Amino acid sequence: MKTNSVFSLTVSADDAGSRLDKFLSSLEDVSSRNYAKHLIEDNRVLVNGKVVKPSFALSEGQVVEIHFPELQSTELKPYNLKLDIVFEDEHVLVVNKPSGLVVHPAAGHQQDTLVNALLHHTTDLSMKNEIRPGIVHRIDKETSGLLVVAKNDVAHEALAQQFKNKTTHRVYYAVLQGQLPKTQGTIKSYLGRHPVDRKRFSSVKENNRVITDADLVLPHAKWAVTHFSKISQHSNMSYVRLQLETGRTHQIRVHMSEQGHPLVGDTTYGFSAKRMKELGLNRFFLHAAELGFTHPITKEDLLFKIPWPEADRTLLVQWGFEKP
């Protein structure tokens, strides 16, 4: 069986009892029940080294191994999806990504991603990464909001350097579980794969304390800084503004959950599945509302702001948050 990558993870106590196909669909690289079933029936998923059925009930401590099929860059095809383009010139474009859209092709999403939609919109995209043309940074599938896309390699390199140097401006808004005790604060840590649950990330600890020394070089972990401020609270929820110094995978989700306040709807990081059903949700609430950077060619400072999607604003008002 020819594969592009193998991914393994250990079943946590929270996932014990889950059907295998449902468990796989919660992973970002799978993200759909149908694709999970396809992988299982194609004998690409092993539990403790054995092939099982999609309905197999998982137990804590079992090791799930996924052999993803090969993905070729030449397979990329345009996807006819209308994009909300906020800004565009010959070098860059800024797009308002809807929640539910995966940024770049991966196993399970090879032709229905933002990249595929960009290929339908324009043939001018940077090729620094042939599988992810144009993509300089990314946000989670469930997250809505702003991304900048490079239309050529020169623009891509300049933008990537800005993200590396932490000179970009990135602000998110989120709804958290519970009422934050502080009105504002800063969270600093090194983020790496969770030691037990490999589909999650977590802050690296030493002697049971989070490491906050910024001058260290840790293997398999990256420095992350999140600034937060509470805007309002209602019905045991907090509405917050989050500004990133760094942009690590799951950074906001990890940092807030480790404060005891996971994003509403984020069952991967501790939000109650029961409460999720009560609220009628199928995802978490996080919005990339502001994005600022220096234009890679003209050197003009650009700042873009975008409100929550209308449906989300309606729901936020129903929860008691005015003018989200």
DSSP string, 182-227: -SEEEEEEEEEE-SS-TTSEEE-EETTEE---TT---TT-EEEEEE
On whether the CB atoms of residues 62 and 18 are closer than 8 A, the answer is no
Give the other-Cβ count within 10 Å of 195's Cβ.
Answer: 11
As to burial, measured by CB atoms within 10 angstroms (0-12 exposed, 13-18 middle, 19+ buried), residue 301 is exposed
Domains of the chain in start order, with CATH, are 3-69 (3.10.290.10), 73-165+293-314 (3.30.2350.10), 172-284 (3.30.2350.10)
pLDDT for the residue 236: 92
pLDDT for the residue 237: 95
pLDDT for the residue 10: 87
pLDDT for the residue 74: 52
* Beta strands in 22-116, from DSSP E residues, in sequence order: 45-47, 50-51, 63-69, 84-88, 92-97
Quick: pLDDT tens for 227-266. Answer: 999 999 998 999 999 999 999 999 999 999 999 999 999 9
Quick: pLDDT tens for 265-276. Answer: 999 999 998 999
Residue 187 pLDDT class (50, 70, 90 cuts): very high
> CA 282 from chain center: how many Å?
15
Residue 109 pLDDT class (50, 70, 90 cuts): low
**Region 295-319 average pLDDT:** 96
Strands 286-294 and 169-177: antiparallel
Residue 107 pLDDT class (50, 70, 90 cuts): low
Q: What is the mean pLDDT of the chain?
A: 90
- Given a cut of 50, whether residue 2 has pLDDT beyond it is no
On whether the CB atoms of residues 266 and 284 are closer than 8 A, the answer is yes
Kindly list the catalytic residues. Answer: 140
Measured CA to CA, the distance from residue 172 to residue 243 in angstroms comes to 6
